[in-house]
Amino acid sequence: MDKAVLIIPRIMESHIDEALALAETAGYRIVWTTRTRHPRRVGRGLVEEVASRASEYGVEAVIFYGDIQPSSRFLLMKATRARVLDRVMLILEIFARHAGSREAKLQIEMARIRHEIPMVRELIRRSKMGEYPGFLGPGGYAVDSYYRHLTKRLARIRRELEELRRVRGQRFRSRSRSGMAHVSIIGYASAGKTSLFNRITGESKPVGPEYFTTLHPKHKAVNVRGSRIAFVDTVGFIRDVPPEVIEAFYSTLEEITMSDAAIFVIDSSEPVSYIREKLTAGLETLAKIGAHGLPIILAANKVDLVPPGELKNRIKLIEGLARDLSQGSIESIIPVSARTGQGINILLEAVVEVAGSAPKAGRPVW
Ligand SMILES: Nc1nc2c(ncn2[C@@H]2O[C@H](COP(=O)(O)OP(=O)(O)OP(=O)(O)O)[C@@H](O)[C@H]2O)c(=O)[nH]1
Ligand SMILES: [Mg+2]
**Band of pLDDT at residue 133, cut at 50, 70 and 90:** low
Instruction: Supply the pLDDT for residue 357.
Output: 60
Task: Pick the more confident residue, 224 or 165.
Answer: 224
Please check the confidence at residue 285 and state whether its pLDDT lies above 80: yes
Q: Percent of the chain scored above 70 by pLDDT?
A: 89
Nearest CA to ligand 1 atom 10: 192
Nearest CA to ligand 1 atom 14: 192
Considering every ligand atom shown, identify the ligand nearest to the alpha carbon of residue 237 and give its number: 1
Considering every ligand atom shown, identify the ligand nearest to the alpha carbon of residue 304 and give its number: 1
Give the C-alpha separation, 281 to 242, whole Å.
12
**Band of pLDDT at residue 72, cut at 50, 70 and 90:** very high
Please check the confidence at residue 363 and state whether its pLDDT lies above 60: no
Instruction: Supply the pLDDT for residue 51.
Output: 97
Please check the confidence at residue 359 and state whether its pLDDT lies above 50: no
Nearest CA to ligand 1 atom 6: 192
**Band of pLDDT at residue 121, cut at 50, 70 and 90:** confident
Mean pLDDT, rounded, of the chain: 86
Query: Which range in 67-76, 287-296, 351-360 is most confidently predicted, on average pLDDT?
Result: 67-76
Tell the burial category of 292 from Cβ atoms under 10 Å away from its Cβ (0-12, 13-18, 19+).
exposed
Q: What string of H, E and C letters represents the secondary structure of 349-360?
A: HHHHHHHCCCCC
CA of 207 to the centre of ligand 1 (A): 6
Task: Pick the more confident residue, 250 or 190.
Answer: 190
**Band of pLDDT at residue 251, cut at 50, 70 and 90:** low
Q: Percent of the chain scored above 90 by pLDDT?
A: 54
Nearest CA to ligand 1 atom 11: 209
CA of 205 to the centre of ligand 1 (A): 11
Query: Which range in 50-64, 170-184, 196-210 is most confidently predicted, on average pLDDT?
Result: 50-64
Please check the confidence at residue 143 and state whether its pLDDT lies above 50: yes
pTM metric for this prediction = 0.80
Instruction: Supply the pLDDT for residue 366.
Output: 37
Instruction: Supply the pLDDT for residue 76.
Output: 94
Q: Residues with Cβ within 6 A of ligand 1?
A: 187, 189-195, 207-209, 211-214, 236, 301-302, 304-305, 337-339
When mean pLDDT is compared across 138-152, 194-208, 304-318, the lowest value belongs to: 138-152
CA of 209 to the centre of ligand 2 (A): 9
Atom of ligand 1 nearest to the CA of 191: 19
The Cα-based distances of 175 to 19, 76, 172, 242, 260 in angstroms read: 39, 50, 5, 31, 13
Residue 77 CA, chain-centre distance (Å), reads 26
When mean pLDDT is compared across 4-18, 22-36, 278-292, 313-327, the lowest value belongs to: 278-292
Closest by Cα among 43, 44, 45, 17 to 33: 17
Q: Once rounded to an integer, what is the mean pLDDT over residues 208-236?
A: 85
CA of 192 to the centre of ligand 1 (A): 3
Please check the confidence at residue 259 and state whether its pLDDT lies above 50: yes
Instruction: Supply the pLDDT for residue 174.
Output: 56
Q: Once rounded to an integer, what is the mean pLDDT over residues 26-32?
A: 95
CA of 249 to the centre of ligand 1 (A): 20
Task: Give the CATH fold of the 2-96 domain.
Answer: Rossmann fold (3.40.50)
Please check the confidence at residue 263 and state whether its pLDDT lies above 70: yes
Give the C-alpha separation, 335 to 349, whole Å.
13
Instruction: Supply the pLDDT for residue 361.
Output: 47
Is 179-355 a CATH 3.40.50.300 domain?
yes
Instruction: Supply the pLDDT for residue 364.
Output: 44
Instruction: Supply the pLDDT for residue 214.
Output: 76
Instruction: Supply the pLDDT for residue 145.
Output: 84
Q: Please enumerate in sequence order all residues whose Cβ is within 8 A of that of 325, keeping only pairs 6 or more positions apart, or say none.
A: 276, 279, 280, 283
Give the C-alpha separation, 336 to 72, whole Å.
46
Give the C-alpha separation, 249 to 35, whole Å.
30
Give the C-alpha separation, 271 to 289, whole Å.
27
Give the C-alpha separation, 172 to 337, whole Å.
32
The Cα-based distances of 166 to 102, 170, 245 in angstroms read: 14, 7, 21
Q: Once rounded to an integer, what is the mean pLDDT over residues 197-225?
A: 87
CA of 85 to the centre of ligand 1 (A): 28
Instruction: Supply the pLDDT for residue 312.
Output: 95
Instruction: Supply the pLDDT for residue 250.
Output: 60
Instruction: Supply the pLDDT for residue 289.
Output: 81
CA of 213 to the centre of ligand 1 (A): 9
Nearest CA to ligand 1 atom 32: 302
Nearest CA to ligand 1 atom 8: 192
When mean pLDDT is compared across 18-22, 155-159, 359-363, the lowest value belongs to: 359-363
